[in-house]
Amino acid sequence: MSQKPAVLLSHPMIGPMQPVLEGAYEVHRFWDHADPAAFLAGPGQAVRAIVHAGEFRLDPAVLGQMKNLGLIANVSVGYDGVDVPWCRANGIEVTHSRGLNADDVADHAVGMLIAGWRGIVEGDQMVRAGTWTLTDRMRPRASLRGKKAGIVGLGHIGEAVGRRLEAFGMTVNWWGHREKPGAPWPMAASLLDLARDTDALMVCCRASPQTEKLISAEVIDAVGPRGAVINISRGQVVDEEALIAALKAGRLGLAGLDVFAQEPTPAERWADVPNTVLTPHSAGGTVDSIPLMVASCLENLRCFFAGEPLPTPVAD
């Protein structure tokens, strides 16, 4: 019988981590078990840590059956699929890769804004389709310089987005559920006030029950027909139906989305939605950030099994 500590990989998306774990741990893959109940009643009883991708929901009813479970180590920065209060009440620690892909996500968010604002995607399609004429140059787009950016959620990513947009000559304001002393930019009195006074609403907040459909029809309409909504948070933070309706009706200028209510999002859902830049939840995953996040997860595992303080526990 193996003396290695037992860890469980929760989702196929993080299956590539198995080889780097096997030297130190007995690795189980939850998706391999056609009868999850049998696994939980058998080998699952030895599992002491779960390696997890935080966007996927972990059912407390399942977690509660693993009596030796003490850690959920999220490879990701986000952990919205984990019921942190329940875990804490049941003696289970939760960690994540705090802030490690913030710059990459911010780059992607700003890239989507520029692509939509300056019509880069449409321009590419026009050139490739052979429909470009010289008169197209007489329909110029607006500059970003002098425009207003509103950031929803001023964490690591929100700050990184703000600093980049400031470099483009934009005025930056923000709003969040909690005040942030020492923030580099003014905080709006409310989300609606921020939306009314912005040209580009950058959605950077953490997903939680409190932020479900936070970007509502009212907020979207407040941004208006000349404004942009860019979402690199989670799909559920934006009322996607309201966003699509506003884009089709011309009540919203444009949207850039890296995250969706359902992932993968159905292609037909967006076939006739104008003025969009869509990417497949790729903002935070680069060849630079992924190794950092994997290393953070491994260090949290090492410290847990060594009885040392965890480097990056979830803070709230």
pLDDT score at 2: 53
| C-alpha distances in Å from residue 239, one per residue of 47, 81, 86, 231, 289 | 38, 19, 27, 11, 29
Question: Which residue in the list 33, 118, 251, 281 is annotated as catalytic?
Answer: 281
Question: Which residue in the list 22, 218, 263, 308 is annotated as catalytic?
Answer: 263
User: Which segments of the chain have a pLDDT < 70?
Assistant: 1-2
The CATH number that domain 6-100+288-306 falls under is 3.40.50.720
Taking the C-alpha atoms of residue 106 and residue 75, their distance in angstroms, rounded to an integer, is 19
Position 6, amino acid: A
| Phi, psi of 50, rounded to the nearest 5 degrees | -115, 130
Q: Do domains 6-100+288-306 and 102-278 have the same CATH topology?
A: yes
pLDDT tens by residue, 25-80: 999 999 999 999 999 999 999 999 999 999 999 999 999 999 999 999 999 999 99
Radius of gyration of the chain (CA): 22
CA angle (296, 237, 272) in 5-degree steps? 115
* Residue 118 falls in which region: left (phi positive, over 0), alpha (psi -120 to 50) or beta: alpha
Question: Which residue in the list 11, 96, 108, 234 is annotated as catalytic?
Answer: 234
234 carries an active-site annotation: yes
pLDDT tens by residue, 104-140: 999 999 999 999 999 999 999 999 999 999 888 778 8
Taking the C-alpha atoms of residue 202 and residue 191, their distance in angstroms, rounded to an integer, is 12
302 carries an active-site annotation: no
The CATH number that domain 102-278 falls under is 3.40.50.720
179 carries an active-site annotation: no
Taking the C-alpha atoms of residue 137 and residue 142, their distance in angstroms, rounded to an integer, is 13
The domains of the chain are located at: 6-100+288-306, 102-278
Percent of the chain with pLDDT strictly greater than 70: 99
